[in-house]
Amino acid sequence: MKTPVFNQERSDELQAQLEHMANMDAVGARSAKTSSRPRRVRRNTAWGLTATMIVALTATAAIQQSASSAQATEILHGLSSIAKNYSDVVPDKNEFLKVETHGFWLACTAADDGSEHCVPDEERVINFYKPGNAKAQWAFEYIAHGSPNDVQRAVDGAFESGDFSWLNTMLKQATSGQTLYDYVDSTYSGGSLSRDENNFVRLTDALRTGLVPAAQRGAFYDALSKVPGVTATKDVTTKDGRVGVSIGRTEPLRMGMREELIVDPGTGQIIGSRDISTAAILGFGKNEVTGQSYIKYSKVDSAPESTRTSTHPDQEEGETNP
């Protein structure tokens, strides 16, 4: 199974995170010591977080989780029901579903001593074009200020930087929330700082692609309700002003960094995400948003042409959409 990564030297152990594709070789002009890290910055505990601080953060998180886990379960079950009854945008044979992600993440500079300094980065746009014709090519487009647009095209989304076989595997397991959760939990291979964190990330990474159909989204929400530590917050506003429900989890061993998806409570669609520092630590204020994105969906008549000169192994030379 192929895994998309955003940087060969900093490849994440987790499967196929959408925003990792945003920083692939299209951004080769950046300094080797500076990389824009899409979505979240996963910092090592070797940054000097003491055992006392870890215990304190863990205890605080446990109290907060016990108070809100029941509410999160209720909200997730409600979202599951809404998603299953929602009709997604479906492109016709000569159209594309366009999933447009606008990301506002962090740019991190690594010093010689291994420490990192992170500041807000420029807006980055990630567009996926999924054709209504299953035999036609998908398109992946990455846009960043100061860099040429990078466009890849491939049948079944089998892009040079990584494919969606991992997502298709998860979708086949999404016959129910329990079945999907059991699959994710049973295939844990040691990634992340905990099994629960890894289960949460794998489920939410699939959802944040915007490519999980409504019926299966319901199963994903049910599965998330079974992950310990997942909480929910109502009336959260995305970067572009839409109001939704955030579904998140705080990992104490990551110094209280919290990752959230923002869901439209009326449709069950993913409309954004955000990363939050829940503790005033490492230069971040308490409950400071350190990164965020918003997602839009539409039907379009065409997709951009590839900017790549090479041909994917599964693609005939000169092959185009009908």
- Sequential DSSP letters for 152-204: EEEETT-BTTB-SHHHHHHHHHTTSHHHHHHHHHHT--S-SSSHHHHHHHHHH
The reply to whether 1 falls in a domain is no
Q: Residue 91 domain-assigned?
A: yes
> Largest Cα–Cα distance of the chain, in whole Å?
62
pLDDT at residue 231, as a whole number: 94
Query: Residues, the chain, total?
Result: 322
What pLDDT score does 114 carry? Answer: 78
Q: Which parts of the chain have pLDDT scores under 70?
A: 1-68, 146, 282, 310-322
Q: What is the pLDDT of residue 282?
A: 67
In a domain, 53, yes or no: no
**Spatial contact of 87 and 276, defined as CB atoms under 8 Å apart:** no
- Is 278 inside a domain boundary? yes
How many domains are there within the chain? 1
Question: Domain for residue 293, yes or no?
Answer: yes
What is residue 26's three-state secondary structure?
Answer: helix
In a domain, residue 176? The reply is yes
For residue 235, is it within any domain? Answer: yes
In a domain, 142, yes or no: yes
- Residue numbers of the domain that contains 16: 8-40+69-300
